[in-house]
Chain A
Amino acid sequence: MQQEQNSVKKNLRKELDLIFVKNPVWVTGLALAPAVVGSFTVKNGVGLSLVFGMVTIPVLVVSSFLGMLPKKVPQYARTAICAVVAALMLIPARLLAGGIAPNLFDSLGMYFSVVALNTVWIVRAPLCQEKKPQWALWEGVCQTVGFSICVLVVSALREWLAYGTFGGNSTVLSVKFPAVAYAFAGFITVGVTAAVLRWCVDRSRDVVASVRRQQKKWRTQR
């Protein structure tokens, strides 16, 4: 019983790493296209996160169920089923996005639909076939949170730099570099924020290691 609880805790922690330590965009480099081009306002960032969640979570859960099929069913047929589910999920996502912000679809253009073919589910779906549905669901949620954090940070930064606003409201420090809304600035912003995240993760690891060393030292002194 204790062993089972420990294994559950370990799995939970492992999946939680997907939020920062193994962030799908900043660290793994997956789903870069919408994060680079589509995220130039906070509203777009929220829209992208919404579509990402609505596509990725069901696809990973479905792929977990597909893992229960007999081995005779080839992998390409399972991937094709996942692609169909992803495509169908675009319809409710579009309806929901239309309810939240009517011009969100026009603002994101092609990148709204491109999220349906994000590399996160393409890479992770075959691995989720070996997982239980609840773990596939948890992974989907963690991937979505990781993607959303990245997209929201990048979009907030770019909106502030490009238009001097945050979520459409003007800010105290009003700077305006409209070029930041272009794709090249998206590449640079995602690259720089990825480097900042890596630096923070490395520093936090160093701090944790030094704290552990100190604790060990105190124990031996006692």
Chain B
Amino acid sequence: MNNTLIGIFSLLLTALVLQNAVFSRALDITSLLVLPGGRKGLRQFGLILTGITTAAALFAALLNPLISQWENVQYLRPVVYVLILTLLYGIVCFLLNWKKRDWFHDHSMLLTMAFFNCAAYGAMALTVYSGFHWLESTVYGLGIGLSFLLAVFLLEQGRRCMSICNIPKAFRGLPAELVYVGLISLSLYGLVGHQLAA
């Protein structure tokens, strides 16, 4: 029991820091950098995304034994993952449109961006490629979502620092933020201890 808990905690920590979805795989970097709505909007998006990555990873783990038996599975696997996301998106939108119409109308674009993005797909693909069982997959999916929230926090700090710096005009905005994200990514690579070829 203790070993399982330690394993799950280390998996969560790995997904959160060492294999951070944004900094090490650039998953959902577009939403992080260009999504409008400010700090509050990004946090809200992060919470929705966390729910989606967790559910998507769980579904992928549960369906994997079934999908693996198909012929030409390498061609069909990505299609099935996108179809699962589409199905989840359809169900969630239908329920929200039915029960919470006002909230849904205000946040429909946010929901679309949260369902159809690299992080949701990545959560499904990475858990299956890593051979995780359902509990590990769920935790890994949760870690991917939380890693986006961690990236939001780090980007907020970076934006605050950049706002008081005299950045050259050509670098202001997206280019400077990309370089900033690149430097954090480099520091995480250093933490993992990647060896560069001599």
- Taking a contact as CB atoms closer than 8 A, the residue among B97, B121, B169 that contacts A74 in the complex is B97
Q: Closest Cβ of chain A: how far from B95's Cβ, in Å?
A: 11
Docked-complex contact B97 and A36, CB < 8 angstroms: no
Q: Which residues of A contact B176 (CB under 8 A)?
A: 191, 195
Q: Which residues of B contact A194 (CB under 8 A)?
A: 174-175, 178
Which residues 30-85 of A sit at the B interface, judged by CB distance below 8 A?
30-33, 36-37, 74-77, 79-80, 83-84
Docked-complex contact B170 and A195, CB < 8 angstroms: yes
Which residues 163-191 of A sit at the B interface, judged by CB distance below 8 A?
178-179, 182-188, 190-191
Encode contact with A along B151-180: 1 for CB under 8 Å, 0 otherwise.
Answer: 000000000000000001111001111110
Q: Which residues of B contact A83 (CB under 8 A)?
A: 82, 85-86, 89, 116
Contact A32/B79 with A84-B86, A110-B125 known, Cβ cut-off 8 Å: no
Q: Which residue of B lies closest to A125 (CB)?
A: B112
Q: Which residues of B contact A36 (CB under 8 A)?
A: 26, 29
CA A212 to CA B40, docked complex, whole Å:
45
Give the interface segment out of B7-15, B132-140, B141-149, B181-189.
B181-189
Encode contact with A along B67-94: 1 for CB under 8 Å, 0 otherwise.
Answer: 0000000111011011101100110011
Q: Which residue of A lies closest to B119 (CB)?
A: A33
- Interface status of B122 (Cβ within 8 A of chain A): yes
Contact A183/B89 with A113-B121, A113-B125, A194-B174 known, Cβ cut-off 8 Å: no
Q: Which residues of A contact B89 (CB under 8 A)?
A: 76, 79-80, 83
Docked-complex contact A32 and B30, CB < 8 angstroms: yes
Docked-complex contact B29 and A122, CB < 8 angstroms: no
Q: Which residue of A lies closest to B185 (CB)?
A: A184
Interface majority SS (helix, strand, loop, mixed), chain B: helix
Q: Closest Cβ of chain B: how far from A211's Cβ, in Å?
A: 22
Docked-complex contact A76 and B108, CB < 8 angstroms: yes
Docked-complex contact B117 and A119, CB < 8 angstroms: yes
Please tell me the size bucket of the interface on A. 35 or more
- Interface status of A196 (Cβ within 8 A of chain B): yes
CA A44 to CA B33, docked complex, whole Å:
24
Partner-B contacts on A (CB < 8 A)? 27-33, 36-37, 74-77, 79-80, 83-84, 86-88, 90-91, 94-95, 105, 110, 112-114, 116-117, 119, 122, 178-179, 182-188, 190-192, 194-196, 198-199, 202
Partner-A contacts on B (CB < 8 A)? 23-31, 33-34, 74-76, 78-79, 81-83, 85-86, 89-90, 93-94, 97, 108, 111-113, 116-118, 120-122, 125-126, 129, 168-171, 174-179, 181-183, 185-186, 189, 194, 196-197
Nearest 8 A/B pairs, CB to CB: A187-B182, A191-B178, A113-B78, A87-B82, A184-B185, A76-B93, A188-B182, A195-B175
Q: A87-B86, A122-B116 are in contact. List 18 more A-B contacts (CB 8 A).
A: A28-B34, A30-B30, A30-B34, A32-B30, A32-B33, A76-B89, A77-B90, A80-B90, A83-B85, A86-B82, A87-B82, A110-B129, A122-B117, A184-B186, A187-B26, A187-B29, A187-B185, A195-B170
